[in-house]
Structure 1
Amino acid sequence: MQERFYLDPYQQTLSTTVVRHDEQGLVLEETLFYPLGGGQPGDTGTLTLADGTPLAITDTRRDKETRDILHVLATDAPRLPVGTPVMLALDWSRRHAHMRVHTCLHLLSVVIKAGVTGGNLTAESGRLDFDLPEGMELDKDQIEAALNRLIAEDRSVRVQMTSGEALQRQPELIKTMSVTPPLHLPEIRLIEIDGVDLQPCGGTHVARTAEIGPVIVKKIESKGARNKRVVVALA
């Protein structure tokens, strides 16, 4: 299956065909729907049949065993035969918001120089948990100002590829302490924010930081002796 969200995260529609449809979900020859992973939600949208019938895609997941991308349809949707032609259309406003928030979280990991122990995002906000020395305080206003300065600098965001072997020689690029990238793979995807950040990531991102728009730091919470949670939101 071609995963078009990696080739062009801005593509919003796609003609494709059914490969399999069973109780697990719908598998297509190609897709532009991103599956739940790395803290980023699975895409939603619409699948339209050749006769114009629209079917709602309510979630997108990846099968852990086969690695197939599973499109979840409403429970009353008909089973589609193999080879059925379909047209996919993303809920673009939701996906684009995920891209903006996800890139913002990468910038947050630049502003706060500490290991990341967890993270999550929605179309409105995102959060990262940081491993900080006990007693170390974070200044909400300073973090917000630094984030918005990096966003306004309109830095380019690009994809690079590396290998698991090469990444093992650059452990400083791995910021997430709770999840290790698949270092056994011959190719691992890196996201570079020009001049400020380079780290492994399988999510979708905007092309330039200014596209994120202004953000606010909603709150900073203690989640343990060394764990601080920082929540940011699109303004």
Structure 2
Amino acid sequence: MTSLFLEDAYLSTVEANVTGVREDGGIVLDQTCFYATSGGQPGDTGFFERENGDKIIIAGTVTGDTKAEIIHVPAPGQATPDIGEKLVLHIDWDRRYNLMRMHTACHLLSVVCPYPITGAAVSETDSRIDFDMTETIDKAEVTARLMELVKANHPIFNRWISEADLEANPDLIKSKNVRPPRGQGDIRLVCIGEESVIDSQPCGGTHVGETAEVGEIHIGKIEKKGKENRRFRIRFGPAPA
């Protein structure tokens, strides 16, 4: 299966052929623009359009035995496509785009707060990152530094490196608990800024093409979660007065 979102996160519709239907109803295709739940980012929803115009509503997208296997989960009561059938895939673009903006915002927060990441969850309106840190930091200061990066409109692009290159540059990995999968070929880096001057880290998620697309964001709350853990919550819009 070809995961088209890895190279083009803005691809919202594409044709694909059914290569399998699992016992639980999950649909497998030869290629897809649907992102599967991983790395704290939820999988895409949307629908498949059949040649007769009927729709198969997709309630979620998950990975199978490996990250390379993507399974599209139909909503209850949907028709089952035939093996070899050609479908036109349509993701819920408004939802995806908000997730792209939020996931990018999480990367920017990891620049402003350069501490090991112990957990993360991306949603359409409120995302969180947990950092291994003991320092006290002002949320207004973090918000201001985030918005500096957003307004600077830095480019965001992908770069691929070998597993050996990643091993030679362990500082690229910001997560304390999760490591990029091994044995599946090259590793994708998501880079921010000309020549990656702002950031570069392994990530399989979807992101916007320029930081200005993130829009206005703020840190809604910083919570203490244990002696050496701080949870930052990112929200869209201006900080409350």
Could you say which residue in structure 2 is the equivalent of 1:202? 204
Deviation per residue, 1:121-178 (Å, 9 max, x gap): 1011211100013xx2111100000001100000000101111111111111111001
Question: Which of 208, 211, 215 pairs up with 2:217?
Answer: 215
Is the contact made by 1:164 and 1:182 (CA closer than 8 Å) also made in structure 2?
no
- Secondary structure of the residue that 2:121 maps to in structure 1? strand
Could you say which residue in structure 1 is the equivalent of 2:148? 149
Quickly say closer, same or farther: Cα 1:29–1:183, change in 2 above 3 A: closer
Q: Residue 62 of structure 2 aligns to which amino acid in structure 1? A: R
* Count of matched residue pairs: 233
Displacement of 1:201 after TM fit? Answer: 0.5
Structure 1 residue ranges without an equivalent (≥5): none
Larger CA deviation: 59-68 vs 109-118: 59-68
Larger CA deviation: 22-31 vs 66-75: 66-75
Is the contact made by 2:56 and 2:79 (CA closer than 8 Å) also made in structure 1?
no
Could you say which residue in structure 2 is the equivalent of 1:179? 178
Q: Does 1:28 pair with 2:29?
A: yes
Amino-acid identity (%): 38
Could you say which residue in structure 2 is the equivalent of 1:100? 101
- Secondary structure of the residue that 1:109 maps to in structure 2? helix
Larger CA deviation: 181-190 vs 142-151: 181-190
Partners in 2 of 1:156 and 1:52 — Cα distance?
A: 39
Partners in 1 of 2:65 and 2:154 — Cα distance?
A: 35
- Secondary structure of the residue that 1:39 maps to in structure 2? coil
Q: Residue 138 of structure 1 aligns to which amino acid in structure 2? A: I
Is the contact made by 1:163 and 1:185 (CA closer than 8 Å) also made in structure 2?
no
Structure 2 residue ranges without an equivalent (≥5): none
TM-score of the superposition, structure 1-length normalised?
0.96
Displacement of 1:78 after TM fit? Answer: 2.0
TM alignment of 1:13-162, pairs within 5 A = 13-24=13-24, 25-65=26-66, 67-133=68-134, 136-162=135-161
Is the contact made by 2:219 and 2:235 (CA closer than 8 Å) also made in structure 1?
yes
- Secondary structure of the residue that 2:96 maps to in structure 1? helix
- Secondary structure of the residue that 1:72 maps to in structure 2? strand
Is the contact made by 1:111 and 1:147 (CA closer than 8 Å) also made in structure 2?
yes
Displacement of 1:65 after TM fit? Answer: 4.7
Partners in 1 of 2:184 and 2:78 — Cα distance?
A: 37
- Secondary structure of the residue that 1:230 maps to in structure 2? strand
Partners in 2 of 1:156 and 1:205 — Cα distance?
A: 11
Quickly say closer, same or farther: Cα 1:184–1:53, change in 2 above 3 A: closer
TM-score of the superposition, structure 2-length normalised?
0.93
Partners in 1 of 2:168 and 2:103 — Cα distance?
A: 26
Please tell me the root mean square deviation across aligned C-alpha atoms, in Å: 1.2
Quickly say closer, same or farther: Cα 1:117–1:99, change in 2 above 3 A: same
Is the contact made by 2:7 and 2:158 (CA closer than 8 Å) also made in structure 1?
no
Q: Does 1:189 pair with 2:188?
A: yes
